[in-house]
Homo-oligomer: A and B are copies of this chain.
Amino acid sequence: MRQVHDRVTVETRGQGLTEITGPLRAWLDRQALRDGLLTLYLRHTSASLLIQENADPDVQRDLEDFLAKLVPENPALYRHTAEGPDDMPAHIKAALTQTHLGIPLQDGRLALGTWQGVYLFEHRHAPQRREVALHLIGS
């Protein structure tokens, strides 16, 4: 049994989902473990990690629209407005989704379903550099 730690940077292009399944699989291949548990931890509070449908891009846009309507970027609704109209909504969206994910690794492959992708969900409008801590334990 052994464990691996790492940090990877994801460049986002502003609000929306960035798929990281590919880079994650490439990273896993380099660790040469067959079975274990992968934990992803996002070191930010205005973005999220998310498992979501990877087939129809409309799913991602519908999800973004739903959250935009649920958590309006209207400064009149919030006290915390100093960092821009999208900052407090970003914290709320992060609270409603995930800061960390745990995905088993079985026989050298992530246990993702056929239609599942791993995404970083940016909630700010400006592009950001986001850091994800990775922890892998197994054999």
Chain A residues in the interface with B (C-beta under 8 A)? 1-3, 5, 7, 35-37, 39, 41-46, 50-53, 56, 58-59, 61-63, 66, 70-71, 77-80, 82, 88, 91-92, 94-104, 106, 111-116, 131, 133-135, 137-139
Bound complex: CA of A9 vs CA of B46, how far in Å? 29
Q: Are B39 and A45 in contact (CB under 8 A)?
A: no
Closest 9 pairs between A and B when the two form their complex, measured CB to CB: A43-B113, A111-B133, A104-B135, A58-B79, A58-B80, A51-B99, A45-B53, A62-B78, A100-B102
Bound complex: CA of A62 vs CA of B72, how far in Å? 13
Residue A1 contacts which of B1, B7, B134, B135 (CB distance < 8 angstroms)?
B1
